[in-house]
Amino acid sequence: MAALLLKRLTLQTIKTENNCISRCLGKYILHKTIPAQLSLGASVPRLSYLIHAKAFSTVADAQDEAKKKKKSEPAFSNIGRKIHERVIHVLDEAGNDLGNMHRADVIRLMNERDLRLVKRDSGVEPPQYQLLTGAQIHKEQLRLRELEKARPKPGPTLTKELTFSSTIGQHDLDTKNKQIQQWIEKKYKVQITIKKGKNTEEPEHKMEEICNQILQTMPGIATFSSRPQPVRGGKAVMCVLRHLSKKEENAYRETQGTQKEDTLNKENRNNQESDVVHQ
């Protein structure tokens, strides 16, 4: 009887231990599984974000590449037969307006007349093209290249400096005037410093007169950026010359034109008066 009771207690203990182990193991598995599922769910939005970012980056790169390609394209050149638009506005080699044409008709005309096609204005609708010969394209490219060279480069205006004595000889002064004019024509500013000569008998305003004399050798080209003024305690005079602006150049031409008209009118009046006297 005691042995049977002991056996039942042993079985009950084993069953209880198994249930406890199962519950503990279940809780452990549950704790490990849920965070894993949460982390997987959290990674999905991040993945979609990365995909979106990659797509955006690809679009941006494509736009940058298109801009670089557009900049690298020559401003005036033969595009061949690669006409992307179906209908374009066409000018012939003499500048006559041929109106809107289908690209197939344009290519046929190019073959018939041995002409090239260049883009004139892509900002209108339909875009404007012109048919030209190879010689015309080359001539226009040379003209545009010369214009590009003549165009002033952006940046600060450089200043050249020149110093000499007020006792300078006329020949040396003429040489310096030529050098100053060359600098002015290249859009430089020229700072001129004239030192007072050792001769104490020279006129007080001689240095300022030399500055004015230099300016008078360049009519319609230069003007004072800084008028003559004493420096070094009155022992020298300094002035700065610059090139005329476009507005100042136009005003000078108008003044010269008016003066010529006045001179011609005065001469005509004098001739008429002399004719009347002789009659």
pLDDT in tens, the chain (279 residues): 566 666 677 767 666 666 655 565 555 554 555 444 444 444 444 544 444 444 444 544 555 555 554 444 456 778 888 888 999 999 998 889 999 999 899 999 999 989 999 988 888 889 999 999 989 889 988 988 888 877 766 666 688 999 999 989 999 999 999 999 999 999 899 999 999 887 657 776 888 999 999 999 998 899 999 999 999 888 899 999 999 988 888 888 888 877 666 666 666 666 666 655 555
Q: Is the dihedral of CA 100, 106, 112, 115 positive or negative?
A: positive
The edge-to-edge listing of strands for the beta sheet with 236-243 is 159-165, 189-195, 236-243, 222-231
Q: Which residues lie below 8 Å from residue 176, measured CB to CB, with a gap of 6+?
A: 162, 164, 168, 214
CATH class of 159-251: alpha beta
Does residue 152 have a cis peptide bond before it, meaning omega lies within 30 degrees of 0? no
β-pairing, 159-165 with 189-195? parallel
Residue 7 in tokens: 């056996």
Query: Is the Cβ–Cβ distance between 211 and 228 less than 8 Å?
Result: yes
Q: What are the backbone dihedrals phi and psi of residue 154, each rounded to the nearest 5 degrees, phi first?
A: -65, 150
Residues of the chain with CATH 3.30.110.10: 159-251
Whole-number Cα distances in Å, 224 to 19, 35, 74, 240, 242? 107, 82, 41, 6, 6
Closest CA to 118 of 132, 106, 105: 132
Fold of 87-150: Ubiquitin-like (UB roll) (3.10.20)
Confidence at residue 179, expressed as pLDDT on a 0 to 100 scale: 94
Decide: pTM greater than 0.75.
no
Residues of the chain with CATH 3.10.20.80: 87-150
Query: Is the Cβ–Cβ distance between 138 and 168 less than 8 Å?
Result: no
Residue 130 in tokens: 């012109």
The edge-to-edge listing of strands for the beta sheet with 128-132 is 97-102, 87-91, 128-132, 116-121
Amino acid occupying residue 121: D
Longest CA–CA separation in the chain, Å: 177
Query: Is the Cβ–Cβ distance between 171 and 127 less than 8 Å?
Result: no
